Amino acid sequence: MLAVVEIAGKQFKITESMRVAVPRLDAKVGEKVTLDKILLIESDTSKLVGNPFVKGTVIEATVVSHDRDDKILVFRKKKKKNFKVTKGHRQQYTTIQIDGISNAKS
């Protein structure tokens, strides 16, 4: 079973027992998370498309870890003005393990 889910404004294509790195969630490691913004569910025999979300469908996931991505450097320079600025940024993300996709209609 395949599902497209929206988490923090981004869409992810997931299946059961899959690990996904999503934007930072406010949940502790080992805690269960319920995802209810499912846009599409596809099984071998049928396909359900939400308007905008599929009703009665829930995805259960477990928080595995909280990490930070690699550092991205931003460099600005103005020629002939002796102006240079270097800034760095590390995006935070959460790794979740998909436990199950439950659909009320199937």
Domain boundaries, the chain: 2-103
What is the model's pLDDT at position 105? 59
The reported pTM is: 0.79
At 1, the pLDDT band (50, 70, 90 cuts) reads confident
Asked if the model's pLDDT at residue 106 lies above 70, the reply is no
How confident is the model over 8-32, as pLDDT tens digits? 999 999 999 999 999 999 999 999 9
Asked if the model's pLDDT at residue 104 lies above 70, the reply is no
- Give the pLDDT mean for 55-83: 95
What is the model's pLDDT at position 44? 87
What is the model's pLDDT at position 32? 96
Which contacts of 64-70 are long-range, i.e. CB under 8 A and separated by 24 or more positions? 64/19, 64/29, 64/95, 64/96, 64/97, 65/29, 65/94, 65/95, 66/24, 66/29, 66/92, 66/93, 66/94, 66/95, 67/21, 67/92, 67/93, 67/94, 67/95, 68/92, 68/93, 69/93
